[in-house]
Amino acid sequence: MSGSRHVVFLESNLTGSGYEAIAAARRAGHRVTFLTRELPTYLAPGHERLDLSLVDEAVTCETNDPDAVVAAVRALAVPADAVVAVGEWHMISGAVASRALGLPGPDPDGVRAARDKSATRRRCAAAGVPVPGFARVAAPEEVHGLGLAWPCVVKPLDDGGSNGVRLCRDADEAADHVRLLLKDTHNERGQRKIPAALVEEYVDGPEVSVEVLVRGDEVSVLAVTAKQLGELPYFCETGHHVPAALGSGLDERCADVAVRSLRAVGFDFGAAHVELRLAADGPRLIEINCRPAGDRITRLVALSTGVDIAAELVALYLDPARPLPAPGRRQAAAIAFLPAAAGTVTAVSGAGAAARLPGVVDVGLYVEPGTRVAAQPNNTARHGHVVAVAPSGAQALARARAAADAITVTTSPV
């Protein structure tokens, strides 16, 4: 691998962009090391799986501890040129480790502020970024007397994947949900959660996300993504399309709110996925995710604009002075997910036919006969996905949904 660099990936998400970044590093001819505390997580059915042929070396260490990450990187036979975290839960470890190793990466303080939803709200509100009315509560009884307008959304402060996010009609319902959240002390990666919850006024309107790359004060807005959600009271994402093409200047207003929010929290390097809701008077910030979008949104952006966010992120870590990309306009792209039903999968059919439908460019199945599925009210409740392209977002989404409907996953109750 003459002339190659050494990229160390610190864990990954399970929804596309982390694996895309690993594949991009391999395509560029770089050496790839994968640090993880539990490699079997990435090889189990029920979600997209890691292709180990793209990895030169997999190293087990306690990735939730930045000091352990630093020690593991320093012990590698080939010195690392970059430590890249793409998954939600390891952005802080990655930022702290990169700083300790003298490698490029975001300011850890900005990452911490983005990961703590109450800190995000406080900093953004202080900077004049439009946010819903909110409060941080550390006990169920604190919900009463907040002075917020109901209904409200109650969510963990530092989880991901829509875990624990619920619409509550009144203070009693919210108190019950806060009580439930506080019983869950650790996330799915074994990290202790902040022992508090966020209560925020519900913004009734469409949801979008803004996909960006950041270097210092420079921000390249690559796309605005329209998001499709399942039925309330939960907020499970069922599909996305790029571009959102909101019209009436809303795309530009969304981009402005996203950029201002990133500056308010101090996120200064890498990719970000900023979620907004469109109220009657304009966009309101919902969340800052200081990593590339999951759910294959990065693939949609590449198909729509020609910018491969995962590849650009790896390149930015290896050459922080390189110009940030500007988006082009090719076509629209969409993804539709196959909703999961609880039980044991007994048969899967129709994937081949779905792949041959007009505009379909990718069919991914996460299950096979024998896979046991626990359909929880979050973004893990999926059997697979379909990606399609078309001249407009609405057409691309219709194609993706039609192809998803052509696939049948049969389950038997557990």
Q: What is the pLDDT of residues 256-291, one digit of tens each?
A: 999 999 999 999 999 999 999 999 999 999 999 999
Of 83, 76, 70, give the one whose Cα is nearest residue 57.
76
pTM (global) more than 0.75: yes
- Assign 47 a pLDDT band (cuts: 50, 70, 90): confident
Which residues contact residue 11 at a Cβ distance below 8 angstroms, ignoring those fewer than 6 apart?
A: 18, 35, 36, 37, 63, 85, 86, 87, 89, 90, 189
Query: Strand locations in 290-353, DSSP E?
Result: 332-339, 343-349
Q: Read off the pLDDT of each residue in 222-233 and give the average, rounded to a whole number.
A: 97
CB atoms within 10 A of CB 92: 21
| Domains annotated on the chain, with CATH | 6-103 (3.40.50.20), 107-129+206-330 (3.30.470.20), 133-201 (3.30.1490.20), 331-414 (3.90.1170.50)
pLDDT at 357: 98
Which residues contact residue 323 at a Cβ distance below 8 angstroms, ignoring those fewer than 6 apart?
A: none
**Over 90: is that where the pLDDT of 26 sits?**
yes
Q: By mean pLDDT, which of 147-151, 220-224, 301-305, 340-344 is the weakest?
A: 340-344
- Assign 3 a pLDDT band (cuts: 50, 70, 90): low
Mean pLDDT score of the chain: 96
Place of tokens 């009693």: 172
CB atoms within 10 A of CB 225: 28
For 333-367, b where at least 16 C-beta lie within 10 A, e where not — what string?
A: bbbbbbebeebebeebeebeebeebebbebbbbbb
**Over 60: is that where the pLDDT of 178 sits?**
yes
- Assign 48 a pLDDT band (cuts: 50, 70, 90): confident
Report the alpha-carbon distance of residue 36 to residue 64 in Å, rounded: 9
- Distance linking the first and last C-alpha atoms of the chain: 49
**Over 80: is that where the pLDDT of 74 sits?**
yes
pLDDT at 376: 80
Which residues contact residue 180 at a Cβ distance below 8 angstroms, ignoring those fewer than 6 apart?
A: 164
Query: Strand locations in 218-312, DSSP E?
Result: 218-229, 237-242, 269-279, 282-289
> What letter represents residue 156's amino acid?
P
